[in-house]
Structure 1
Amino acid sequence: MTDVVRIGNASGFYGDRFSAVQEMLEGGELDYLTGDYLAELTMLILGRDRMKDPSTGYAKTFLHQMRENLALARDRDVKIVTNAGGLNPHGLAVALRELAAELDIDAQIAFVSGDDLVKQAAALNLGSPLTANAYLGGFGIKTALTRGADIVVTGRVTDASLAVGPAAAAFGWGYDDLDAIAGAVVAGHIIECGAQATGGNYSFFTEIEMGHLGFPIAEIHPDGSSVITKHEGTGGAVNIGTVTSQLLYEVRGPRYYNPDATARLDSVQLTQQGPDRVHISAATGEAPPTDLKVSLNNLAGLRNEISVVLTGMDIEAKAELFRTQFEAELPSRPAELEWTLVRHDRPDADTEEQASAILHCVARDTDPKKVGRGFADTAVQLALASFPGFTMTAPPGHGSPYGVFEPGYVDVALVHHRVTQPDGVSVEIEPSPVRAALVVDEDAPAPAATTDWGPTVMAPLGTIIGSRSGDKGGSANVGVWARGDDEYAWLDALLSTDKLKELLPEAADLVVHRYRLPNLRAVNFVIEGILGRGVAENVRFDPQAKGLGEWLRSRHVPIPQRFLP
């Protein structure tokens, strides 16, 4: 048994840097290379692809990357684990085997299946979705690797499972090794979004050398502890800040649920071990939930939109005139008509753009006629008959389908998690026998302020505080963290749920949950429903909430002078 396994990542989403696979294989020592290609929106896109052609449904980019790098991976004896199989892991595995034969490369290819529940959705009380995929764990990947696979293709597994599987295979973990599995879950969560762990989307990016960022590596040990690093000489940085930021990405409370173990994020300890090396220890594991989360995507109808530019004086009157005229002239009113006026304008502006605002109109309906050319033509036909200075940001289109995401849950015993080996033998993976009922983390109110921090100065919160935010269906999380114990004590007392709603008025009427993570000097908020029914349906500015944390950082609060540079 080895004393460390090096697991790299070369993709954080479908569309990430194509050359990352080659860079990671050539950049230094690796045992495994993982790639995450699936997001909630990606599953919808692949579902629409499959509707047109049942032989598709997987991430074709990965196949192209293997054409260029399969020989290199085999020469370096790096095993590859990826969820690029999407809705059709079998199809991708077949394509890879054909590619290996074409290139005359000996590569043993296995695939994991069983996550696709769309045919059983109605029987499982999941409705009639376009896609329905359970989030599987890492023990199917483990089985494939221990049986000799060089490449393991999966469908929908949890992002962290891409690291859990290789670590469990390397160290022989069983389901009762909860602390070790939890450590791999934490490491897998950190590296699964690629360069977000090495300086990408980092609040304090001005403090590190950016450029061509390296992708992350998790050096995992038999006890589940790990070191997050990157190949020497690559851009970016791995420090406690970059790792903390990624730990807070798209999580809820202290418990991070996975099918093989529930990782307690409030137990994790981070230590800067050296340049670009952060040691992660003390992860505590609890039993995984009895149910698996299911990603459900439904086609909800069609959507079209127009954006009109309003310039100069009387912005609100111009917007009201156009809205009134437009709605009166529509041939038939869509089921949903949503207007948003975005005020970029300023008085006495030096440029025309600075003198202009944007009026957006979004239409949704199941009837193509109500959101198609009739909707678009109505706007165009008002061009010479409405407010002065009428112009549009782009010609209107014909409308397009949109979908909505929602989570579902199903008893893990009803999901047939399978691994098919290169020889065609299929093995069913039994679920963890140590499952337990889901424990819901309770909200943690802000503690009473008991320390006088001295004189304060009104300044942006982000002067001293970092953040990371993201989407989870129709909700969003905003994690904020401090770099020192005193700063954290101040932040924890300052940033209550009410204070967050004051600083982010868009959340004022929504349900907001607050969770404390003292070991990370962090507080995490989950804002329910701020993204409507998810990114595919939502037309909110920043529909995936990627900038929500940076908006919070820009808000001015009274910061103790002692904390300021």
Structure 2
Amino acid sequence: MTLRIGNASGFYGDRFSAVRELLTGGPLDVLTGDYLAELTMLILGRDRLKDPGRGYARTFLRQLEENLGLAKEKGVKIVTNAGGLNPAGLADAIRELAAKLGLEVAVAHVEGDDLVGGAGELGLGEPLTANAYLGAWGIAECLNAGAEVVVTGRVTDASVVVGPAAAHYGWGRQDYDALAGAVAAGHVIECGAQATGGNYAFFTEHDLGTPGFPIAEIEADGASVITKHEGSGGVVTVGTVTAQLLYEITGARYAGPDVTTRFDTLALDQEGPDRVRISGAKGEPPPTTLKVALNRLGGFRNETTFVLTGLDIEAKAALVREQLESSLTDNPPAEIRWTLARTDHEDADTEQRASALLHCAVKDADPKVAGRAFSGAAIELALASYPGFHVTAPPSDASPYGVYTASYVDAGTVPHVAVLPDGTRADIDPAAETLPLSDVDEPELPAPLGGSTRRVALGTIVGARSGDKGGDANLGVWVRSDEAWRWLANALTVEEFQRLLPETASLPVRRHLLPNLRALNFVVTGLLGEGVAAQARFDPQAKALGEWLRSRHVDVPEVLL
């Protein structure tokens, strides 16, 4: 029997009602939730500093308070990484909640990912948080022991889907193709409504409304159909699934702790309205190492935005920059970053359209330098600088910021423990068979597409989805016909990519081809500095980088238009 897994959360702060929507909207076997992003681990780490009993996603507990009884009644099992830095604490809180609600619920959890206590011995320094990405087998062990709710710490996003599928079908550790198929399905639904039309490049082609949350119908061989409850908003198409497959990946080999999934083997087919089949997945043994997400407190930051209106925008920006920097010479911040956004228009009919924005951000280890010293110096210029001086909001006290880095440790050094509903602790061995990760051979380019061209926005025919991995940005693009792929694969080279996005011109950029998806994926190293928590750029998670690319004008063959 096909296993129906629905995901009710793509991040800590996603739609609160999604749990109930999935439980009441139609048949479901397993409900999952992904609450952990790189930034979330930093937030939970700061929570744990204040109270060692915290460190998990409290929103999930409130969602269960409304829906645990309903899930029990319907026989829907729940698997989530909402345990964050304290899965045992969340498991205990769920047991207390169940007792309060008069329910008997078998609760289990998975732990071992938290390496902060031994970070120094592993060569990881002294971070605020250090969490290895565990796989799916601890989850499967809990479910096989009768757990109705399983909470984990940091597992890979797809593992909350792979674990239930492996338990349901009895897959073994070396059923790589089936595991790879489940990874693909898990990767698609992990970000919730992004698979059902949310944040979709061609959104104007559909009546999205409020998109429902995605469901993966996983079959015994790992193939799946991505869908949603009938009557819920949004849309599931080959395009929406392609966009999510490209989200935050690198090349054709997608490594995980249980299997390396070959994304260059995946085939997508539209089976019917809101039903897209993913098949053909091939899997390989995982690498010997596990990725570790590290967060540390980087210091303090502050910012303000000066509004420059009318004439002489560049001269006004130069004046206030010179004035502010010279007033900070006694206590100069360790880092000061200026960004001028020329949002102004000539002969504008509104004051806002006549104005540009000059953003200034500072960082320093001393909160006084980034706080009162900077704020005071900026505001003291109010009557002594460019004409029309004002700011969007006055700078305030400095706020702490975090720095994310990734490291890797031998999988054998990381404990992976399933704590079963009866309290029994089951150790999960690392993968017995491994394979070093390497790039695939570059596929041959298709024959170029010739003919006359017209200059249009790239996004006229190209979709995109972008995001972050630490300090790197990932940008996937795809087209919807074989003819368009012939053009895209030959036209959008690394050099052309860097020309269209000048901000990337001085940075390392790698291009990966995925012909089966008619897609390219670009990885820009260092674009995001020290990661999202450090707020290094205007769009710190590169979420709109793809839309910037789509807005650039290029020469496109008229036959495609």
Contact 1:25 1:72 in 2 (8 A): yes
Q: Which one of the candidate residues 118, 134, 137 is aligned to 2:135?
A: 137
**Partners in 1 of 2:559 and 2:527 — Cα distance?**
35
Alignment partner of 1:44 is 2:42: yes
Q: Which one of the candidate residues 547, 559, 563 is aligned to 2:560?
A: 563
**Partners in 2 of 1:519 and 1:446 — Cα distance?**
12
Which residue in the other structure is 1:299 paired with?
297
The CA deviation string for residues 430-466 of structure 1, in whole angstroms up to 9 with x for no partner, is 1111112222456x599486442x2111001111111
Distance apart, 1:425 and its partner CA: 1.0
SS at match of 1:372: helix
Contact 1:446 1:492 in 2 (8 A): no
Contact 1:143 1:169 in 2 (8 A): yes
Alignment partner of 1:386 is 2:385: yes
Alignment partner of 1:169 is 2:155: no
Which residue in the other structure is 2:221 paired with?
223
**Partners in 2 of 1:450 and 1:527 — Cα distance?**
25
Which residue in the other structure is 1:349 paired with?
348
Distance 1:375 1:441, change over 3 A: farther
Which residue in the other structure is 1:6 paired with?
4
Show the 5 A alignment for 1:415-564.
Answer: 415-441=414-440, 444=442, 447=445, 450-452=448-450, 454-564=451-561
CA RMSD of aligned residues (A): 1.1
**Partners in 2 of 1:64 and 1:285 — Cα distance?**
38
**Partners in 1 of 2:446 and 2:96 — Cα distance?**
64
Show the 5 A alignment for 1:133-282.
Answer: 133-282=131-280
**Partners in 1 of 2:307 and 2:445 — Cα distance?**
46
| Bigger Cα displacement from structure 2, 81-90 vs 203-212 | 203-212
Contact 1:304 1:398 in 2 (8 A): yes
Distance 1:448 1:186, change over 3 A: closer
Question: Unaligned 5+ residue runs, structure 2?
Answer: none
Task: Give the percent of matched residue pairs that are identical in Structure 1 and Structure 2.
Answer: 62
Contact 1:216 1:228 in 2 (8 A): yes
Letter of the 1:343 counterpart: R
Letter of the 1:10 counterpart: A
Contact 1:446 1:494 in 2 (8 A): no
**Partners in 2 of 1:339 and 1:275 — Cα distance?**
48
**Partners in 2 of 1:97 and 1:514 — Cα distance?**
48
The CA deviation string for residues 251-274 of structure 1, in whole angstroms up to 9 with x for no partner, is 000001111100000000001111
**Partners in 1 of 2:204 and 2:73 — Cα distance?**
39
Distance 1:446 1:344, change over 3 A: farther
SS at match of 1:66: helix
Contact 1:458 1:558 in 2 (8 A): yes
**Partners in 2 of 1:366 and 1:201 — Cα distance?**
36
Contact 1:298 1:405 in 2 (8 A): yes
Alignment partner of 1:407 is 2:410: no
Distance 1:446 1:544, change over 3 A: farther
Distance apart, 1:539 and its partner CA: 3.4
Distance 1:334 1:157, change over 3 A: same
SS at match of 1:536: helix
**Partners in 2 of 1:446 and 1:352 — Cα distance?**
53
Which residue in the other structure is 2:54 paired with?
56
SS at match of 1:388: coil
Which residue in the other structure is 1:122 paired with?
120
Show the 5 A alignment for 1:358-373.
Answer: 358-373=357-372
Contact 2:28 2:76 in 1 (8 A): yes
Contact 1:58 1:86 in 2 (8 A): yes
- TM-score, normalisation: structure 1: 0.98
**Partners in 1 of 2:367 and 2:438 — Cα distance?**
44
Which residue in the other structure is 1:316 paired with?
314
Distance apart, 1:350 and its partner CA: 1.2
**Partners in 2 of 1:307 and 1:510 — Cα distance?**
27
**Partners in 2 of 1:480 and 1:515 — Cα distance?**
11
Distance apart, 1:421 and its partner CA: 1.5
**Partners in 2 of 1:465 and 1:16 — Cα distance?**
28
Question: Unaligned 5+ residue runs, structure 1?
Answer: none
The CA deviation string for residues 281-310 of structure 1, in whole angstroms up to 9 with x for no partner, is 100000001000000001110111111111
Which residue in the other structure is 2:334 paired with?
335
**Partners in 2 of 1:285 and 1:318 — Cα distance?**
58
Contact 1:112 1:418 in 2 (8 A): yes
